[in-house]
Structures are given as structure tokens and as C-alpha cells.
Structure 1
Amino acid sequence: MRRLLTFGRYCKKRFGVRVKKVPLGLSGFTCPNIDGRVAKGGCTFCENESFSPNLSKSKKIFLSPDSKENPLLQKQLQEIRFQYTGTKAHYEKLGYEKFLAYFQAFTNTYAPLDTLKTLYTEALKQPQCVGLSIGTRSDSVTEQILDYLADLSQEYEIWIEYGIQSIFDETLQKINRGHDAANVEEWIRKSKEKGLKVCGHVIFGLPDETPDMMLQTVKKSIEWGIDSIKIHPLYVVKNTALAVDYMKGKFTPISQETYIETLVEAIKILPKDMVIQRVSAGIGDDTLLAPEWCSDKNDQLHRIRKALRKEGYIY
């Protein structure tokens, strides 16, 4: 049996103790695919104000790289401290000793560089924080941001996480992604050239994609040089364009059987030193429309582990 290199195992080997990501979601962050810079409405699977009356009624301040000032900065710094402290305390009870500040919600490089530096520095100041993991889009980074992160990586564990989703431009257009695959390749390669660790997010079950297309996305992502991968199924939640297509019968979610079969095949082609950060996803509340099997991530993991064991892998 081959033990797969999960992110937990990678961190235990790297730091000698259990390490956990602390997710952070800060006020003011948005996405160029929501604010109209590259597209409008966001990705079709993303909840946004076009489909949510509650969101559209709220008057909020959002940042962009062109923002001249940041009136939210002090609030953001407080959010980092509050969220980190509370989540860290919970994880410590579970035996974790060191932590990565995970800038997770929305696009976390989509703000002025001075703001990013201040926020990243504040996160690194938190107790037992050994690094950062920054979720972003390939069309929302710059050479200056990558250079800064590369400098931080000399002292800290720094990961940049890109949403690849698919290598097929027709798919990216269907989900209103706002950029093409060439853009993703360009910035993954630039990140690697600067010595950064890169995690690529891939979605199985995107509109009209076959299992072979999903596996091609994995293969191409490996060629681009990613160090780590997250794979998860596409599920439909309320207040999204995808929900409209689903209710009109224009979108059929991937079945659990097809997802797991394709996932196992994807695992087989990953390099042995590839860090696997995610193999499942879902949401356990009434915002989930479909597929029903995505309502229970624990059951997903149980079935995935069982399927992988049959092929000689321990997840």
C-alpha cells in the first residue's frame, strides 16, 4: 500500500509537528470577475449579488488593485487577529501545534500591494504562525506581488493557490471565468520561476466535461509545475447562475460514482511528491441544490478512501 502525500503528512515532515491551515475571510476583498474588471456576475457556481437580493441590498466597500486608500484596514487587521485566535484555539484542542494563515475567501491578491503587505505581515505575527497560504486567481497577481511573496518564502512557508478549474477555454467561457487557460499557465510558471510553492485547484463535473477532459486538466496542471493539488466536485448552490441552469434542466451534476472513478484515475497519474490537499467538497445546509451526495463530506471521504485502498493507496 502506498501512503499518499497529503498536506498534513507534508507539514508533519516539514515541521515535525501537526500543522493546520487557519481560514481567514476579510472584509473588502472581492474578485475581478464580480466587480466588472474582467467580467460581470462572477463564475456561474459562485453566489453573488446578481442572484441574491440580500447581497444586492448591502452597501459595502470593496478593494481593487487601483484603490487609492483602504478605509477598512483596521477592521481587516482586527478580523485577522479575531479569526486566527478563535480558530487556532479550536485546532490546538485537536492536537495541532503550528499554523498557516489561509487567506481563503474571494481573491486575496486583489488589493493594493501596501494593503497586502500589511495584512500578510499581521497574519505572520500571530502566535505559532509559520506561513501563509493565499487563494487567488491567475489574472489577479503581479510580478511585484510574486516578488514580495518570494522574499517572505525565505523565512516562512508560503503557498499561492490558483483556481485552475479546467484547461479547456470553452469550459472556462461556460462558467464565466473571465480568463483563459493560457493566463493560468503563464502565472503558474512565473510563480515557480520565483521559487514559490503552487497549489492548483481543479473542479470535476464542470458543464459538458467528460472524465477524459478532467484527467487532461490534471495532466496539464502537472506539466505546468504545480506542487500541490486540490480536486473537488462541482455542486450547485442557491443564488447562482448555475442554479438557474440546473433548475431549467440545462446542467446535470456529476454522479458520485463517476467522480470517485475519475478521482482515482487522477491520483494514479500524480507524481509521488505531489502534495494532495483536497479530494472532496460539499456543503451540509439548505443552500445545496444538487447533487445530494455532496451534502455529506464524511461519507464522501469514506467512499474515496475505500476506492483508493482497492487500488493500493492510503489517503
Structure 2
Amino acid sequence: MEQIYTFGNYLKNKFGCKVYKVGVNISGFTCPNIDGTVAKGGCTFCENDSFSASTGQTQELKGFYLNLNSKSNPNLDKQLQQLEFQFNAISKKQREKYGAEKFLVYFQSFTNTYAPFETLKALYDKALSFDNVVGLSIGTRSDSITEETLEYLAELSKTKEIWIEFGIQSVFDETLEKINRGHNSKNIKEWILKAKSKGLNVCGHLIFGLPDESKEMMLETAKQAYEWGIDSVKYHPLYIVKKTALANDFIRGKFTPIAEDDYLDVLVKSITMKPKNISVQRVTAGIDDDSLLSPDWCRDKNSQIKKINSALAPLKLKY
């Protein structure tokens, strides 16, 4: 059996030790299709409250939101404190439980380039100052990053491991419109190519099972994302949680989530057509709590991984 080239493999090969991503959620970040800049309400599958910046131990700054045009940030010091607290707590657990030795700080929730450059620079620099941090991974949208931020990240990448994670989701504009994404596929391609031209590492997020998409459309999204030169990929099935526009469609019988067998089929085909140099960071997603409406197979990640490996086995591959 040949193991699929994972992000963990990539990091182990590069740094010679266990490198873990420390996911942090900083108050004040939102999205342009939530705050009304390009749309309202967020993507149809997104439950905005689930992106709470609070870890249960740090105080969330309620009612405080930044965007690219914010003139000031009165809460920067508090954001920096949140960042440090979360990093220390999570990295400690990763060291003790998993033997992690080095870390990437992962700016995870919402759109983590959607703030004034001075705020971003302060947060990124602070994250890189922590012990045993070798770099950053920054989750964002292609319509929410500036040339100035891209140039700065490119400069950091000369000495640090810098990744940008773009939500591609689909390359079909009709799908992006249906999910209220707020930008088109041309915008995604443009900014991925810009990031690559500056020598940055790019991870692309792909969602299989979006409204009215055929398997052929899902595979075309993967094909084009690979052609754009992404370095790593996350594959997600679309699952439905409460308090979302998609949940309303599901309840009214207007949307049916992807079946597990169909997801496995598209996933395996996407993996086998993937260039070998592209690492895999995620092969599935889900949630096991009362917020999940459907599909039920997204509750148990361990079961999903077993079935994914069973589907890969005839190809002599494993995850």
C-alpha cells in the first residue's frame, strides 16, 4: 500500500520532526459576504455563530468587526492577548498528547486577511515570535486580500513557512451564486495565481455535494484547482447544520445532501487525478452534535476514514 502524500508527510520531510497546526480564532474577523460588502448572511452552508472567536477561556469582543477599510483598531492589544493565550493552551496540549515539536499558527475562522494591514502585520508577527513556530497558515477568501498583504507574506516566506488557504469550493459561477459566495471563479483563479507568482504556498478547499452539481462538475473543480498550481488540498463533503439558509432548503425538500457512496467515488477519483506533489490536508469533514441535520454519515469521522481507505484499497492507496 502506498500512502497518499499528506501535509503531515510534507512537514515531517521538511522539518524532520512533528509539526502541528495550531488553529486560532481571533475576535474582530468576519467576511465580506456577512457584513454586507458583497452580500448578506454568509455562504448558505455557513452557520455564522459557529465561528465564535471565544475558546471558552478567552473573552470574545462582541460587536467588534474589522474590514479592509477600517481606519483604526481599538482592540488590537486584546486580539494579541487572545492569540497568545490560544497558542499557549493549544500547543501545550499538542506537545503533551501528540509529541508535537514545532508549530504552524493557523488563522482559521472567518477571513483572516480581511482587516487593515497594520492589524494583520501585528498579529502575524506576534504569531511568528512564539517558541518553536516555523510559520503561518492563513485561511481567507480570494476577494479579501490586498496586494500589500500578499507582498508582506511573500517577504515573510523567505525565512518562514507561509501558507494561504483559499476557499475555492467550486469553479462554477452558477454554483457560487447559489451558495451566496459573493465572488466568481475568475477571482479565485486570479488570486491563487498571484500568490503562486510570489512564491507562496497555497492550499485550496474543495466542497463536494454543492447544490445541483454533478460528479463531473465536482471533478472539474478539482482538475482546475490542480491546474492553477495549488500545493495542498482539503476535500470536504457538504453537510447541513441548523440555522443556515441551506438548512431551510433541506427542510423544505429543496436540497438533498450528497450520498456517502457518491462522495467516496468523487473523492477517490479526485485523489487519483491529483499530481503527486500536491499534499492532502483533509479528506472529509463533519460534526457530531445536535447542530448536524444531514447527512448522518458525516457524524463519525473514524468511520468515514475507514470507508475512505476501503475505497482506496483496490488502487493500493491508503490515507
Same fold, TM-score > 0.5, yes or no: yes
Instruction: Give the aligned partner of residue 88 of structure 2.
Output: 85
Q: Which of 171, 174, 197 is matched with 1:193 structurally? A: 197
Partner SS, residue 307 of structure 1:
helix
Instruction: Give the aligned partner of residue 314 of structure 1.
Output: 318
State whether residues 159 and 198 of structure 1, in contact with CA within 8 Å, keep that contact through their aligned partners in structure 2: yes
- Tell me whether 1:220 sits opposite 2:206 in the alignment: no
Instruction: Give the alignment of 1:115-130 within 5 angstroms.
Output: 115-130=119-134
Structure 2 counterpart of 1:296, one-letter code: D
Structure 1 counterpart of 2:124, one-letter code: Y
Distance in 1 separating the partners of 2:252 and 2:196 = 42
Distance in 2 separating the partners of 1:239 and 1:26 = 22
Measured after TM superposition, the shift of residue 286 of structure 1 is 0.4
Instruction: Give the alignment of 1:171-210 within 5 angstroms.
Output: 171-210=175-214
TM-score, normalisation: structure 1: 0.96
- Tell me whether 1:65 sits opposite 2:68 in the alignment: yes
Instruction: Give the aligned partner of residue 14 of structure 2.
Output: 14
Measured after TM superposition, the shift of residue 59 of structure 1 is 5.2
Q: Which of 231, 235, 256 is matched with 2:239 structurally? A: 235
Instruction: Give the aligned partner of residue 54 of structure 1.
Output: none
Distance in 2 separating the partners of 1:141 and 1:196 = 14
Partner SS, residue 284 of structure 1:
coil
Structure 2 counterpart of 1:139, one-letter code: D
- Tell me whether 1:257 sits opposite 2:253 in the alignment: no
Deviation sequence 1:243-271 (CA, Å, 0-9, x none): 00000000000011110111000001000
Where does the alignment leave 5 or more consecutive residues of structure 2 unmatched?
A: 50-60
Distance in 2 separating the partners of 1:116 and 1:67 = 12
Counting matched residue pairs gives 307
Distance in 1 separating the partners of 2:127 and 2:259 = 39
Structure 2 counterpart of 1:135, one-letter code: G
Q: Which of 286, 291, 298 is matched with 2:295 structurally? A: 291
Partner SS, residue 236 of structure 2:
strand
Where does the alignment leave 5 or more consecutive residues of structure 1 unmatched?
A: 50-57
Measured after TM superposition, the shift of residue 95 of structure 1 is 1.2
Instruction: Give the alignment of 1:27-46 within 5 angstroms.
Output: 27-46=27-46
Moved over 6 A (4+): none
State whether residues 27 and 72 of structure 1, in contact with CA within 8 Å, keep that contact through their aligned partners in structure 2: no
Instruction: Give the aligned partner of residue 54 of structure 2.
Output: none
Distance in 2 separating the partners of 1:99 and 1:304 = 28
